Amino acid sequence: MITLDAIRAAILASDPYTQLDQLVRTELSAGRKVKEVFEAINPFVDEALDTPDLTEDGEEAFLGTLDALTGNCHRDCQYIDPPNNTLPTEDEIAKLPRWARVAFAARCARRVLPLFLYLKPQTKPDGLRSQRLRLERADLAASSATAIEPRTWYGDADWPDNPIDKAAHAILQSSTATILEATGRGEPSRAAMAVQTAVAGAEPIADIVPFIRRDFDHVAKLAEWQHWTDDTPVPPEVFGPLWPEGPPKGWPAVTDAPARTELAVALFPRERVDTPGIRDEVLNLFNALNRYHIARSGTRLTLEQFESLLPAAVPVEA
């Protein structure tokens, strides 16, 4: 807790900049937001500036700290809120509009679905395809804001004891909970179950809680900003690429088809374009393709060869 005595001790120190920074960061590490830290210091401004024997450095450090807390300085010097990497609670998820809950649950289930085949390689393709169809139906429901009729009742089976089997079971439960939420036969807690079981399914490979928290914060802010209601359709595209920076280390590729190992691209430049300009355009195209490939598959492309061909003196048909 910030007190006037703590502020005065910091601004009277031999290095007031370091002491004030430490005071602020201690509060941030305890979970307080930047705005809360500012509101705790702001009532003491006049008394702090009236501190006996306050030096010019102490005053400048104090006022500079206030500027850093309010963002009235260069962005590199601004204090920012510590990242929230906690899993959204059931109450938080329940506050989302209905179809935002469905879309969010489907997003979480889709993240871990590729792990099922990784954990259970003996799974038949039809089994995995049925899980994927569940999520596609949930996406369709959220996109059209229309509840779907359940084809069968997806009951909860007993949880296995083996850690790998338990993780695989959690992945199935995540898609099950999602489809129940989309049918309207599950309570909002079903969406929370989809989120929790997605995290459990990913545990053998990686901690995906930060990714899920980012998705939740994104859709929650959109819902608030655009005044979504329970009747607002929410397509999966609102979230953007599944793994913008690439999936966690060790994550299986997000693809349903065998990957091609090579792709030849031929470009035909305009007349009188200099060689450096052509090279820059090729690299720009490669970087764009690479970003897209990472978002879709989680793996990077490699530029193996760049070959520049001389133009023909006379155009001819080949």
pLDDT tens track for 129-178: 888 888 898 999 999 999 887 665 444 556 667 778 888 889 888 988 88
pLDDT band at 109 (very low <50, low <70, confident <90, very high): very high
C-beta atoms surrounding 182 within 10 Å? 30
pLDDT of residue 158: 62
pLDDT of residue 257: 42
pLDDT band at 256 (very low <50, low <70, confident <90, very high): very low
Which helix (H) or strand (E) segment is 129 a member of? Answer: helix 125-144
198 contacts 109 by C-beta, under 8 angstroms? yes
Model confidence at 115: pLDDT above 80: yes
pLDDT of residue 288: 80
Model confidence at 279: pLDDT above 90: no
Model confidence at 98: pLDDT above 60: yes
C-beta atoms surrounding 288 within 10 Å? 10
pLDDT, averaged across the chain: 83
pLDDT of residue 252: 83
pLDDT of residue 262: 66
190 contacts 177 by C-beta, under 8 angstroms? yes
The span from the first CA to the last CA of the chain, in angstroms, equals 79
pTM of structure: 0.62
pLDDT band at 104 (very low <50, low <70, confident <90, very high): very high
Tens of pLDDT, residue by residue over 208-238, are: 999 999 999 999 999 999 999 999 999 998 9
Tens of pLDDT, residue by residue over 5-45, are: 999 999 999 999 999 999 999 998 888 889 999 999 999 99
Model confidence at 251: pLDDT above 50: yes
Model confidence at 123: pLDDT above 80: no
pLDDT of residue 26: 92
Indicate the domain borders of the chain. 4-77, 90-239, 255-318
How large is the average pLDDT for residues 115-129? 80
pLDDT of residue 306: 66
25 contacts 65 by C-beta, under 8 angstroms? no
